[in-house]
Amino acid sequence: MIGIPCTILVALPSIVTLILGLLGIFVFPSIYKSIVYSILVLTHDDYEGTLGLSTQMFSKPPMINQMKFYFFNITNMDEIIYEGSQARVNEIGPYTYMESEDKRYLQFTEDGDQVFYENYKKWIYRSDLSCVNCDYNDIVTLPNAPQVGTSTALFDPLFHVTPTAKKIIAAALLLLGENAINSPSMGAVLFDGYDDALLSAAHSGIVTLISNIWNGGVNIIPIPVPDMHTMAYFNGYNNSRDESYWIHTGMNDIYKLGDIINWANESLLPSEWYPTETARMINGSDTGSFGKVGLSENDVLPMFHSYMCRSFNAVYQGKRDVEGVPSYTYGVMEDEWDTSLDKNKGFRYRNVEGVNYYPQWPNCPKWNHSNCKATPNDPIDCFTDLCNDCCNKGKVGDTFAVPPGFYPMVCYPGRRESSPFAILWSTPHFLYSPSTVVDSVVGIHPELSLHQPMVYDHEPAQFTPSKCNYSYFLRKLGDNDDRLCIFFVQNWICVCPYRSILDEYRIHNFVHWSIYRRMRSYGQKNTFAQCTEGHVY
């Protein structure tokens, strides 16, 4: 009789352990997900007038973000202007700014599934975090954006500029002393702005008076005049914002958390920016700040970058630990920058000036036009197959294709305003462009490990970015156009400042990481996520 209770007592702990083990395998993951998902949702309390913890962290991210700017300083300006020589550049920097964000005017829909906000940003220069020899007033020699933009716009058929008007504007550029290259200070060319003769003339009272007298108040300048009185790449951006957002809060569907519903009150980018609906799509979250909950290696992460005027897709690249947090690495790959692909045809540069910037590209050793087999019923898309025997290599129609790795900057970064400048976006050091492009500028040295754009590390269960690094270049166009007779610069695409983003976001005690650490280490809270934003070249 005594043996039976003893057997039960001996077996009972094993049974309890088995039950707890089964609960841990089948029940705990669901409980964990429910807890995490409920906290991740962006919430608010109308009655108390308070924001949920996740919303507080989202609206005022507790992060230290270093944004580092690098410049390709042109070292042979006179040789380029007067002899048409190949550009030689020297990379200088970083010039480091601390960036902070403040999402304001949050408004939730009645069902709590959508939230409106405006994202204000502030940049403060930090000499102690910049290079040893870097100074805020350093002189940098760069392509002259107003001059190059004006020269290109004169030949854009959208503006119907007459030959007489072209000659008048060309003469004005010459009289104003506008050159293809100039040398402003670092601080001025980024945020502060510097006086430019062309912009000053365009906004002068004389132009306004003549326009009122002779043209009924319509500006006599036949091309768009930018609404900026001084020149800076981020003119008026400090203590300002990009356009407004509506995003999903995750209330009705946690898998839509952070997805953009509209930007600047539009669900698609303007048709005057890109000709295809695919290129105009606003996909994913704001600059990849959110990702899919429960990530897998097969997931593709869409993201919208308002400062780059388009959406991108990031794909899985591998696993690694970031400050002890197991993370999946996702990156924006080469195909996203390849405008020769049909999926990216909406991002192709129109090249309205009709300049063959790279005569040696593409290399088509087997090209023979006499072997063309195309028929009207079976046409060839020469943009996607330049070396086809039925195509004319780099020439397509009345213009020339630009090699892969570029797309036009169609907007003022972050704003729903068309850009007046002839500028292309590219990866740092022409990473995803052919060797013909890389070799066109002396001083360019692409390395995948250093210059791959937009690399994100995400904690897979909760999606939270643990680290990110994105980089991009600005490229200015220049051409020696005898229709203007202003300068002797060879046809070129030259590098500008590159916002080389090796910025670092450090997020302390962020709610998502706190949850993660609590589940793993029973209450450890102090954690940080790091996000390295990029380089602007």
User: Mean pLDDT in each 10-residue stretch from start to end of the chain (537 residues)?
Assistant: 58 64 58 72 83 89 80 91 88 90 94 96 94 96 88 86 90 89 94 94 93 90 90 88 95 93 97 96 90 85 93 93 83 94 94 88 89 78 88 90 92 87 85 93 90 82 61 56 42 52 36 37 33 40
Token couple for 67: 């944004």
| Of residues 320, 260, 249, the one with CA closest to residue 287 | 260
Q: From CA 212, how far away is CA 257, in angstroms rounded?
A: 52
| Per-residue pLDDT, 278 | 97
Distances (CA, A) of 358 to 148, 355, 389, 435, 440: 18, 9, 20, 11, 8
Token couple for 349: 């540069």
| Per-residue pLDDT, 8 | 60
| Residue 417 shares a structural domain with residue 317 | yes
481 burial level (CB within 10 Å; 0-12, 13-18, 19+): buried
| Per-residue pLDDT, 517 | 39
User: Which structural domain range is residue 74 located in?
Assistant: 41-144+179-194+230-358+402-536
| Residue 69 shares a structural domain with residue 199 | no
368-373's contacts with Cβ under 8 Å and 24+ in sequence apart are none
| Residue 349 shares a structural domain with residue 203 | no
Residue with tokens 């403060």: 124
Dihedral sign from CA coordinates of 74, 75, 79, 81: positive
Last residue of a domain, one of 350, 383, 401: 401
Q: Please spell the DSSP secondary structure of 199-254, one letter per residue.
A: HHHHTSHHHHHHHHHHSTTS-S-SSPPPS-SSB-TTTTTTTEE---EEEE-SSS-G
| Per-residue pLDDT, 134 | 96
Across-strand partners of 285?
Answer: 303
| Of residues 424, 356, 441, 496, the one with CA closest to residue 85 | 441
Distances (CA, A) of 296 to 108, 290, 466: 30, 15, 16
Domain annotation covers residue 19? no
122 burial level (CB within 10 Å; 0-12, 13-18, 19+): middle
| Of residues 61, 62, 52, the one with CA closest to residue 115 | 52
| Residue 285 shares a structural domain with residue 312 | yes
| Residue 93 shares a structural domain with residue 238 | yes
DSSP-based three-state secondary structure for 282: coil
Domain annotation covers residue 29? no
Domain annotation covers residue 467? yes
Q: How many residues does the chain have?
A: 537
Domain annotation covers residue 10? no
Report the relative pairing of strands 399-400 and 455-458 from DSSP bridges: unpaired
Domain annotation covers residue 261? yes
| Residue 105 shares a structural domain with residue 244 | yes
| Residue 219 shares a structural domain with residue 260 | no
Q: Which residues of 506-536 are buried (b: 16+ CB within 10 A; e: fewer)?
A: bbeebbbbbbbbeeeeeeeeebbbbbbbbbb
Domain annotation covers residue 30? no
| Per-residue pLDDT, 273 | 96
373 burial level (CB within 10 Å; 0-12, 13-18, 19+): exposed
| Residue 315 shares a structural domain with residue 418 | yes
DSSP-based three-state secondary structure for 459: coil
| Of residues 208, 150, 139, the one with CA closest to residue 178 | 150
| Residue 284 shares a structural domain with residue 427 | yes
Domain annotation covers residue 312? yes
* Secondary structure in 3-state letters for 65-101: EEEEEEEEEECCHHHHHHHCCCCEEEEEEEEEEEEEE
Token couple for 146: 């107003």
| Residue 247 shares a structural domain with residue 323 | yes
| Per-residue pLDDT, 462 | 61
* Domain tally, the chain: 3
| Of residues 477, 480, 501, 482, the one with CA closest to residue 490 | 480
Domain annotation covers residue 85? yes
Last residue of a domain, one of 401, 435, 453: 401
| Of residues 534, 348, 373, 347, the one with CA closest to residue 452 | 534
Last residue of a domain, one of 401, 424, 456: 401
| Residue 221 shares a structural domain with residue 354 | no
| Per-residue pLDDT, 154 | 87
Q: Please spell the DSSP secondary structure of 349-407, one letter per residue.
A: ---TT---S-TT-S--TT--GGG---BTTB---TTT-TTSTTSBTTEETTEEPPPTTEE
* Secondary structure in 3-state letters for 148-185: HHHHHHCCCCCCCCCHHHHHHHHHHHHHCCCCCEECCE
The residues, ordered by sequence, that sit 6+ positions from 140 with a Cβ below 8 Å of its Cβ are 71, 73, 92, 183, 184, 185, 186, 189, 497
| Residue 126 shares a structural domain with residue 188 | yes
Q: What is the DSSP code (8-state) at residue 38? A: H
